Amino acid sequence: MKIFFKKILIFSFLPLVILLLFDFWLRGQDSVYEEKYEGLLSAKDSVQLLILGNSHATYGVDPTAFSTIYAYNLANLSQTIYFDKRQTLRSIEQGVRRLEYVLISVDYHSLFTESQENRDYWSWYGHGIAYKEKNYLLPAISPFLWGYTPKVSFSLLSKTIRNHIRYQGESDIHFNVESDIDASAPLQQGFITFTETDDDSFNEISYRERIERYREPVDSKRVEVLADLEDFIVQLQSSGITPIFFTSPTFHDYNQYLDRATLHRNMNDIHRLSEKYGIEHWDYMDDHHFTKEDFYNSDHLNKRGAVKFSKLLSERLDVLQLQ
C-alpha cells in the first residue's frame, strides 16, 4: 500500500515538474520582440529611419536596401500602432537620437486594431510594454499556463528542436520564427523574411480565410487608434522627425476580396491625417510592379518582393530628402 501511494505521489508531482521546467525554459528564451528592440538600441547612434508596422512590414521592408540612409525594421507580427508608438518614443528616450524619418504602416487592418490579443503577453516578455490596463500578473507568474499557454509552449519547444536538428546547432537565430523562414542567417538591421513562394495559398478559399481574420469588428477601436496615431504624429513632428505613411503590397487577386467599405474608411482617415499634418502616403497595396513571384503568400512579400519594395521606398525617400 505504501508503494502504491508513493507512486501516486510521484505521478501527482510530475505535472508540477513539467510546469516548472517549462516556465524556467520559457523565461530563458530569446524572442523576436526582445531581439529587435535590443538591436535597435545597439544601433542607436546610427539609425536615421525607423520602419514600423505588422507582419506586412516585418517581412516586406528590407532596411539594407535603403541606399542613402541607415534604416532599421522594428515591425513585428500583429504589432499595432499602439505598440509602434510606445516602442519608438521609448527608444528615443533611450538614445535613438539621430532619427529623421519614421515609416508608419497603414494597412487594411491597421486603423481599427489596437490590441495584439495573446501577443500582448508575448511582446511584453520581450520589450516590457504593456497594453493599457491589461493584467499581467498571471502571465508573470507562469508563462507556460497564462502567457504563451501550454499549446503554444509545446509548439515553441517542437520548433526549437526541429531547428536545432535542421541547422545542426549553427543557426544565428536564437528565437522562434515561422517554419518557412531561413533561420541560418541573423537579423539584418531588424529584418528577416521568407525566401520562397507558397503556391498553395493562392486561391479563393485562402484569400477569404485570411481576410476574415482582418474583418473590422462591431467593437472596432478605430476612434481610439486614430486618436493615438494623431498624438504620435504630433510628438514625432515636435521632435523634428518626419512621419511617412506607407501601405505594403498585397497580391492583386487577394485584394479583390477586401471589404470595400473598410477600404473607403481607411482611405478617408489616411487622407484626413495626411492633409492635416502634411504627411505623405506611399500606397503600394495594388501596385503593378509586384507579381506572384514577389510574394510568400497572398498578403506577405518574400525576399525578392521585399528588396523590390524597399528600393521603391528608398527612391521616394531620396526624392523627399531633396525637397
pLDDT digits (tens, 9 = 90+) for 92-151: 999 999 999 999 999 999 999 999 999 999 999 999 999 998 999 999 999 999 999 999
- Is residue 164 a contact partner of residue 186, using CB atoms and an 8 Å limit? no
Residue-wise pLDDT for 248-263, tens only, equals 999 999 999 999 999 9
CA 128 to chain centre: 16
Residue-wise pLDDT for 136-192, tens only, equals 999 999 999 999 999 999 988 888 888 777 776 666 666 777 778 877 778 999 999
Does the pLDDT at position 10 exceed 80?
no
Looking at residue 11, what is its pLDDT? 67
Say which DSSP state 215 is in.
P
Domain ranges in the chain are: 2-322
| Number of residues in the chain | 323
- Is residue 242 a contact partner of residue 100, using CB atoms and an 8 Å limit? yes
- Cα dihedral 181, 182, 183, 185, rounded to 10, equals -130
Name the more confident of 3 and 227. Answer: 227
Options 3.40.50.300, 3.40.50.1110, 3.40.228.10, 3.10.290.10; CATH for 2-322 is: 3.40.50.1110
Nearest to 300 by CA among 156, 185, 155, 202: 202
Torsion 265-267-273-276 (CA) sign = negative
Looking at residue 69, what is its pLDDT? 96
Residue 40 cell numbers, joined: 535597435
pTM above the 0.85 mark? yes
Residues contacting 150, CB < 8 A, separation 6+: 144
Q: What's the whole-number average pLDDT of the chain?
A: 92
Residues contacting 222, CB < 8 A, separation 6+: 111, 112, 216, 265, 269
Looking at residue 174, what is its pLDDT? 67
Looking at residue 140, what is its pLDDT? 95
- Is residue 217 a contact partner of residue 210, using CB atoms and an 8 Å limit? no
Please report, rounded to a whole number, the percentage of residues in the chain having pLDDT higher than 70. Answer: 94
Q: Is 24 exposed, middle or buried (0-12, 13-18, 19+ CB in 10 A)?
A: exposed
Residue-wise pLDDT for 210-261, tens only, equals 999 999 998 999 999 999 999 999 999 999 999 999 999 999 999 999 999 9
Does the pLDDT at position 8 exceed 80?
no
Does the pLDDT at position 15 exceed 70?
yes
Report the alpha-carbon distance of residue 231 to residue 243 in Å, rounded: 12
Report the alpha-carbon distance of residue 319 to residue 323 in Å, rounded: 7
Residues contacting 96, CB < 8 A, separation 6+: 40, 41, 44, 47, 50
